[in-house]
Chain A
């Protein structure tokens, strides 16, 4: 008996050893990488004469198929590479730390990168640290602006370009669509109250408010608003959402990565609906009626193109500047593909009408995150 147990334990130990992570190879070439990656990586076409430069993407904590940030940006890099014939690669820091990020950026530059794309606000301090060391290398920072660790000094060097998104407009469309589609009891479940999440949330409140005014049912609308403090599924989020759905909430805007899965579980039990975030999440569940998206792929592609056309120097309106992209730049919105459009009375044409108004500036959506927007509908902040 003892021998059998010993044998079992040894087997378990071997399993554990096998399951241990192999050292992460930081440099991954798209051509030689393993075929499991979903992203469609076609071989780099033969470089035409006169095309120079090399684009490197450094991932944050996720990988390039995270269905969100890194994947969206990487797809932009790929689209750019395909269109121009410029070589592209991606690099993965060995761990979630500034030192590792800085080292990986340096590796990418040593590898010959003329442009380094960094998705995520996690890179703010890393870029701040390295942008001065490499004046000839161009940096593209998505969703952040370079600053020191204590946030005391913000500085974007001329070889760096930042992209921020007007999440409040994406949230506005989601709130508008929900109310126009006939929902009256709304919810917002955010992750942590970081700026991007707050902008989504306050935009959502404004959109729901304006739509209710237009529709004339301001008194019927109730909106519950809550930050869960987590970006992953937990029992707390599930129970909280069950309490909302149980007390009549019809649709909740799940704004924070993995907490979506807890919201979906609660919606499933109650037969209610969910709104997704960042990318078109309609594939995650049939209950997702729409998603408030920001156009990572498109903006990455367009910025790199501007850089490329200006001979690998940021044009004047990019150099050291922060682009604040919104509806006018086609950088935020709802998915309108047939499979993703699950709203019943609110049509794509209705959406395009409101989109045009926001894009033209006729409707101003406040991006203030200091205080909740002043609205006429009943909003309950929990």
Chain B
């Protein structure tokens, strides 16, 4: 942590500080305007479009129409439960894997930790593609089953269902939880763990009472990141669940590109943005209250 300055700073600094600050204010204006134009103005256009029905004018009718659409409601529900389930899955799996990599000495632990970093750079649909090789209709698992039993098709037909999307999302996003966790674990004083075991604590108690409390901020950071990324995930859902699974991002895609319902697409996009932003806000409030 940086050492806090004495209140008000040294007297010499305090006396000259107001002037430069005004100047920096002026200098900051052009980039802020540029950023607003590049990033915020398109969003404004999007919201404006979502309030403009086909017949013209401004009304909230498009929202009423979309909300009344059962396909939208289903997509909304699927999006939220998939994101929540994937986040929980990533947290549990990521915590266990990071724990093993960080605290169980085995040859190659460093290499595995480095591979986690590489994994983060993979495109998301790559995972889906890879899973197809294993669990796809003619993939390894089903191939083995049909070879052994002589049946016409294998038992693993879940890949195009929400469960397939969930598996792919957990596989892809778990490293996003592990990265901050491994960083947090490397900060833990091994003397604390040794002190705990000297005092008679076995591994489960040490994980629960020493490691977990220290890892909570990292878990919260990784979890919220994964939650938001899952809410907005497009590639995995499109690749895996193409037939049966619709989430908000794929709904935006099908409305805009396949149905040419531009207004409807904008409405769904706005809803998606609102959910993401409010979840992020909720996370900030919760984490601040937790003192993290």
A-B interaction:
no
